[in-house]
Amino acid sequence: VTTVYIVGTSLEMGTTESIVEVTVRLVIIFFGIIGNLFIMGVYLLKYRRSKALQPTELIVTILAFFNVLIPINLVLPMIRGYFLCNYFGEASYKLVDVIVIFVSKASYWFLAWLCFFYCVQIIKVNWKLFLDLKRKISSVVKVLVFFTLLFCILMSIPVISIIQIQRNSSQVLGHCKNFYMKGNNVFIYGVVLTALTSLLPLVIMVVSSLSIVIFLCKHSRNMTRNVSTGGSSHSNAHTAVAIMLICLIILFIVCTFTVIFANLQVSSGEFNILAAISITSSLYSAGSAVILVIGTVKLRKSFKKL
């Protein structure tokens, strides 16, 4: 009787934990999708009225678009296992992996470009290249958007060559569900992908944000020395941007390195940690939306009007 009681209790605890986990995931996903759709809506309405967006506003809109897709990415692996593979075969299985990688890496790169172009707008240096970039910033951003999307697609496509479906003749449904990676190509691809689509964007974020912080510190010291208050409101706005970018970078570091650690654990056979990857991805999407709304004047004002 005691044994049955213990088993029953453990089953109830397991069920309760599963319900709590699913509830937390759904809440995070909901806020992530709603928050990023709100950001897109604000800037698309502005574009509809004025037919133009500031370079940073365009990047924020694209970033929000990919952050909407990140939670949806979590559903795609389930759909491919139980639906796509039965009707479209191996090609659909591999296509889903390409989409998942492309969406997450594009989001990382547009967050990096957001930090970089805020840096270009805020700091003042007399370098010729920097001044040219400031003058042509609108056209540069549009070209950079195109090449960033192209680069992320090219970095995602090689996953097709390292996936090999492990078929099970006894299965009718979900016969593409199980797969394995071939040889050392996985390790090489993983290192290159991590370096070029996670670590390199992080370097750009950190350098850009540190440049803004250093510039604002020098500017604040000069203002104190000159006892001038004329540019205080402008300086406060720049400080708010710097704080917002630092918060985004901290969120990026926490989420990205959690996913990298989880992937290493999965590669060593610890599949129980897979839930951490999906929760972290959802948290990155929702957290980015919250930070952007709080840290951007236009988004904050639009939110207060709701």
User: Of the candidates 143, 248, 164, 234, which has an alpha carbon nearest to the alpha carbon of residue 201?
Assistant: 248
CATH of the domain at 215: 1.20.1070.10
Q: Tell me the two tokens of residue 233.
A: 């409101």
Q: Tell me the two tokens of residue 56.
A: 């940073």
Which has more pLDDT, 111 or 277? 111
Residue 177 gets which letter from DSSP?
A: S
Classify 89 in phi/psi space as left (phi over 0), alpha (psi -120 to 50) or beta.
Answer: left
Segments in 125-199 forming alpha helices (H): 128-135, 137-156, 185-194
Contacts of 255 (CB under 8 A, 6+ apart): 280, 281, 283, 284, 287
User: Of the candidates 5, 8, 206, which has an alpha carbon nearest to the alpha carbon of residue 115?
Assistant: 206
Strands (E), the chain: 163-165, 179-181
What was the pLDDT predicted at 258?
Answer: 82
Q: pTM for the full model?
A: 0.84
pLDDT in tens, 40-63: 999 999 999 998 899 999 999 999
pLDDT in tens, 260-281: 776 666 555 554 555 666 678 7
Domain that holds residue 269: 2-304
Report d(CA 151, CA 166) in Å as an integer: 30
Q: Are the C-beta atoms of residues 258 and 276 closer than 8 Å to each other?
A: yes
User: Of the candidates 24, 58, 29, which has an alpha carbon nearest to the alpha carbon of residue 289?
Assistant: 29
What was the pLDDT predicted at 2?
Answer: 39
Residue 111 burial by CB count (10 A; 0-12/13-18/19+): exposed, middle or buried? buried
What was the pLDDT predicted at 20?
Answer: 73
Asked which of 30-44, 155-169, 204-218, 283-297 is least confident by mean pLDDT, the reply is 155-169
User: Of the candidates 26, 24, 25, 33, which has an alpha carbon nearest to the alpha carbon of residue 66?
Assistant: 33
Number of structural domains (the chain) is 1
Cα–Cα–Cα angle for 51, 288, 130, rounded to 5 degrees: 60
What was the pLDDT predicted at 223?
Answer: 65
Task: Assign 163 to helix, strand or coil.
Answer: strand
User: Of the candidates 294, 275, 300, 282, which has an alpha carbon nearest to the alpha carbon of residue 32?
Assistant: 282
Q: How many residues would you count in the chain?
A: 306
What was the pLDDT predicted at 232?
Answer: 57
pLDDT in tens, 225-259: 665 444 555 667 778 888 999 999 999 998 888 87
Residue 229 gets which letter from DSSP?
A: -
